[in-house]
Amino acid sequence: MLNVDLHCHSNVSDGVLAPAAVANYAHQAGVNVWALTDHDEVGGVARAREAATGLGMRFVAGVEISITWANETVHIVGLQIDENNQALVQGLASTRNGRDARGREMADQLAKAGIAGAYEGALKYVDNPDLMSRTHFARYLVECGACANIPEVFRKYLTEGKPGYVPHRWASLTQAVGWIRGAGGIAVIAHPGRYKFTPVQQGALFDEFKQLGGTAIEVVTGSHTPDQYGVYAEHARRYGFLASRGTDFHAPGESRVDFAMLPPLPGNLTPVWHDWF
Ligand code: AMP
Ligand code: MN
Ligand code: MN
Ligand code: MN
């Protein structure tokens, strides 16, 4: 039986485990087709591939690209990419630019809200200096007692209208899909249920994505509620998108859904991996 997980993070972005350790963790939970999809960075792919193939898993090279669409941040996953493709590598490097300055601004805002030392505090959790993320701040806000857990952090801080939110202009949809396709990959809209779009905006995103050559959306993801599995299965069928599945794993015990807890894709969908093996 295939147990496919196509969305995971290592400490090359905002996960806590090194790429080989994520491979181990996924393998122990029964995953046998696995992708590492770090945010805006492919630096962990070679180590992940080596570990995964050593464990007998099928490995899929991936990335999760941050874009700005209709003034919102959207994530586009790329699967089966050539991680050495120069346009992709350079595009990702340009996207990562500015994360450190953004982190300093986030810390300034948090200081004004009474939380001191957040830049240094978050930095302790950062392994890749190019990739300071809101997740690293969230871990510090839990550590210093400002919040009890990560979901509470994102309810009270770091999101639009709350202290510590610094808007950022990421890549465009056209760039992200272009980089992925140029690197031989498949573009997938990550956790479509997480964006605060109206139905009309969401439809426009799907249409534009499809026009650019995007072919898949995530249906079963740790970033969806169980209700949303059905909702996005229906969207995948209606738009003719392939369906993807992945935990969006960041750390043991931290993510809402761990590997073994994720249900299979609902029926009557074409999995994004249908023609891979
Ligand atoms: P950044 O790329 O720095 O804006 O950070 C985005 C990351 O923050 C996402 O990839 C998630 O790991 C995390 N994140 C954002 N919103 C939430 C949320 N509501 N709950 C948990 N993690 C979140
Ligand atoms: Mn993340
Ligand atoms: Mn994401
Ligand atoms: Mn993710």
Helix and strand tally (H, E) in the chain?
Answer: 10, 7
The ligand with the least distance to the CA atom of 6 is: 4
- Check if 37 has its Cβ closer than 6 Å to any atom of ligand 1: no
The ligand with the least distance to the CA atom of 158 is: 1
**Residues that place a CB less than 5 A from ion ligand 4:** 64, 248
pLDDT at 12 over 80: yes
Mean residue pLDDT of the chain comes to 97
- Check if 38 has its Cβ closer than 6 Å to any atom of ligand 1: no
Which residue, 6, 255, 7, 18, is CA-closest to 128?
18
Q: Ligand 3 centre and the CA of 222: distance in Å?
A: 10
Residues 252/258, Cβ–Cβ less than 8 Å: yes
Between 58 and 260, where is the model more confident? 58
The ligand with the least distance to the CA atom of 192 is: 3
Q: Which long-range contacts (CB under 8 A, 24 or more apart) does 142-149 make?
A: 144/115, 144/117, 146/115
Per residue in 46-99, pLDDT (tens digit) is: 999 999 999 999 999 999 999 999 999 999 999 999 999 999 999 999 999 999
Q: Ligand 2 centre and the CA of 137: distance in Å?
A: 12
Residues 257 and 222: their CA atoms lie apart, in Å, by 5
Phi (first) and psi of residue 22, to 5 degrees = -65, -40
Per residue in 181-226, pLDDT (tens digit) is: 999 999 999 999 999 999 999 999 999 999 999 999 999 999 999 9
**DSSP calls for 68-111:** EETTEEEEEEEES--TT-HHHHHHHHHHHTTHHHHHHHHHHHHH
In which element (H, E) is residue 19 found? helix 19-28
Q: Ligand 3 centre and the CA of 190: distance in Å?
A: 6
Candidate of 40, 67, 106, 134 to mutate for ligand 1, largest count of ligand atoms within 8 Å of Cβ = 134
Q: What does the pLDDT read at residue 45?
A: 98
- Check if 247 has its Cβ closer than 6 Å to any atom of ligand 1: no
Band the pLDDT of 260: cuts 50, 70, 90.
Answer: confident
- Check if 98 has its Cβ closer than 6 Å to any atom of ligand 1: no
- Check if 255 has its Cβ closer than 6 Å to any atom of ligand 1: no
Which atom of ligand 1 is the closest one to the Cα of 64?
10
pLDDT at 172 over 90: yes
Candidate of 154, 159, 249 to mutate for ligand 1, largest count of ligand atoms within 8 Å of Cβ = 154
- Please state the pTM of the whole predicted model: 0.98
* Neighbouring-strand partners of residue 5: 34
pLDDT at 35 over 80: yes
- Check if 66 has its Cβ closer than 6 Å to any atom of ligand 1: yes
Q: What does the pLDDT read at residue 253?
A: 87
Residues 22/258, Cβ–Cβ less than 8 Å: no
Residues 27 and 259: their CA atoms lie apart, in Å, by 9
Q: What is the mean pLDDT of residues 264-271?
A: 96
